Amino acid sequence: MTLAAVATAAHATTTTAAGTHGFLSPTGVEIAFLLVGLVTLGAAVITVTTRQLVHAALWLVVALGGLAVEYLLLTAEFIAWVQVLIYVGSVVVLLLFGLMLTRAPIGRSPDADSGNRWVALAVSVAAAAALVWVVVDAFRTTWIDLDGAPAGSTEVTGASLFQHWVLPFEALSVLLLAALVGAIVLSRKAKADAAATPTTGTRRDTEGAR
Amino acid sequence: MHLAYPAVLSALLFCTGLYGVLARRNAILVLMSVELMLNAVNLNLVAFDVWLSRAAEETLHSGQALALFTIAIAAAEIGIGLAIVLAVYRNRGTSDIDKLRDTAEGPGGDGPDGDVPGGDASATRTAAEKAEATA
């Protein structure tokens, strides 16, 4: 009896959901999301397929910026600006510095892809097909309510972050400090090694033994 | 907004990053693909948080908090990863991850000791290279 009631209730909600939101009549937000998503996906595909290394980093800027716009469309403003600041502002600049310091060739590099690209393509296409099928099948009748106050304004995010997530937040600062110290240690060890290079081989042998 | 839009977009972005990680040869390009995968996860977290904050009246905003933590961890990861790539480049002169096969087992012989044919000079040279790489 209760099962039947639950089933009818679920059916009622499903039909009302399908009634209020037409399945084939997208709203303006959905069209904007779809267009920006296409740009983002195209930029991501070019990022992983182009043979010019610097162009890959620059297309990554387009992909990450498109994701920031998607966050804005999902009314998560704070995450969007954090995305712009950290990813577009610092991570891509770090990647460009890394490309510069490893003397990446400007222009086409014929060996940007390894020999197993067809296997990789098969794996990723299979994973994409499986994931898209499962996700579409699972959330076919689910809608996000974007009306009303934004769900991710700075006030809301800050309140939840400093009320419920203070301990992970502080632990994260320790993690950032550890990453900073680790990066410095990695660089310093290489510098000591470079200083040891012009000396005789015995020093290097002792270093190797140590 | 239909929830399938952000979910499908993040699934496709994740698989694009997966292809990049598997198919690329330069270590920095692999790091870029890892960034794409992390961003796909972030999009999922934000979309489901926005959905649940209305549908289930979830006030914890765990999705957005986790997305912020993921962004911070990705920033730390890219810093450490680039430091490692630069150290490898200084020692080996390459950032090609297909050439870093010192610990690989396979038909090409087990490591650089296996495929270098005898001789004291070459053996010591390989040992010196290994010591330099591990120093």
Q: What is the residue-wise DSSP string for chain B?
A: -BTHHHHHHHHHHHHHHHHHHHHB-BHHHHHHHHHHHHHHHHHHHHHHHHHHHHHS---S-HHHHHHHHHHHHHHHHHHHHHHHHHHHHHHHS--BTTS--TT--STT-SSHHHHS-S-HHHHHHHHHHHHHHH-
Alpha carbons A165 and B70: distance in angstroms, whole number: 14
The nearest CA of chain B is from the CA of A9 a distance in Å of: 16
The nearest CA of chain B is from the CA of A1 a distance in Å of: 26
* pLDDT at residue B129 in the model: 53
Q: What percent of chain B has pLDDT over 90?
A: 50
> Are residue B95 and residue B37 in the same domain, yes or no?
yes
CATH assignment of the domain containing B63: 1.10.287.3510
Mean pLDDT of chain A: 81
Tens-digit pLDDT profile for residues A98-107:
988 887 777 7
* pLDDT at residue A182 in the model: 92
Mean pLDDT of chain B: 81
Instruction: Please report which confidence band the pLDDT of residue A194 belongs to, taking 50, 70 and 90 as the band edges.
Output: low
Optimal mutation site among A79, A109, A161, interface B, most CBs of chain B within 10 A? A79
Q: Which domain holds residue B125?
A: 103-135
Which residue among B51, B80, B90 places its CB closest to the CB of A190?
B90
The answer to whether A190 contacts chain B (CB < 8 Å) is yes
Chain A residues touching B55 at Cβ < 8 A: 142, 145
Which residue among A60, A83, A128 places its CB closest to the CB of B11?
A128
Q: Cβ A145–B54 below 8 Å, yes or no?
A: yes
The nearest CA of chain B is from the CA of A103 a distance in Å of: 9
> Are residue B82 and residue B132 in the same domain, yes or no?
no
> Are residue B66 and residue B129 in the same domain, yes or no?
no
Chain B residues touching A26 at Cβ < 8 A: 2
Alpha carbons B83 and B62: distance in angstroms, whole number: 31
Which residue among B1, B78, B89 places its CB closest to the CB of A94?
B78
Q: Cβ A113–B91 below 8 Å, yes or no?
A: no
Q: Cβ B61–A160 below 8 Å, yes or no?
A: yes
Lowest model confidence (mean pLDDT) among A187-191, B70-74, B103-107: A187-191
> Are residue B25 and residue B36 in the same domain, yes or no?
yes
Give the mean pLDDT of B24-44: 93
* pLDDT at residue A203 in the model: 42
* pLDDT at residue A96 in the model: 92
Q: Phi/psi at B96 (nearest 5 deg)?
A: -90, 115
Lowest model confidence (mean pLDDT) among A47-56, B98-107, B109-118: B109-118
Alpha carbons B121 and B69: distance in angstroms, whole number: 51
> Are residue B33 and residue B44 in the same domain, yes or no?
yes
* pLDDT at residue A25 in the model: 64
pLDDT(A110) > 90: no
> Are residue B112 and residue B131 in the same domain, yes or no?
yes
pTM over 0.80: no
Residues 6+ apart with CB under 8 A from A54: A96, A99, A104, A106
Q: Cβ B11–A172 below 8 Å, yes or no?
A: no
> Are residue B91 and residue B113 in the same domain, yes or no?
no
> Are residue B65 and residue B114 in the same domain, yes or no?
no
> Are residue B23 and residue B82 in the same domain, yes or no?
yes
> Are residue B87 and residue B21 in the same domain, yes or no?
yes
> Are residue B87 and residue B25 in the same domain, yes or no?
yes
Q: Cβ A114–B98 below 8 Å, yes or no?
A: yes
Q: How many domains does chain B have?
A: 2
Q: Cβ B8–A132 below 8 Å, yes or no?
A: yes
Tens-digit pLDDT profile for residues A31-87:
999 999 999 999 999 999 998 889 999 999 999 999 999 999 999 999 999 999 999
* pLDDT at residue B60 in the model: 84
Which residue among B4, B15, B85 places its CB closest to the CB of A102?
B85
The nearest CA of chain B is from the CA of A6 a distance in Å of: 18
> Are residue B90 and residue B38 in the same domain, yes or no?
yes
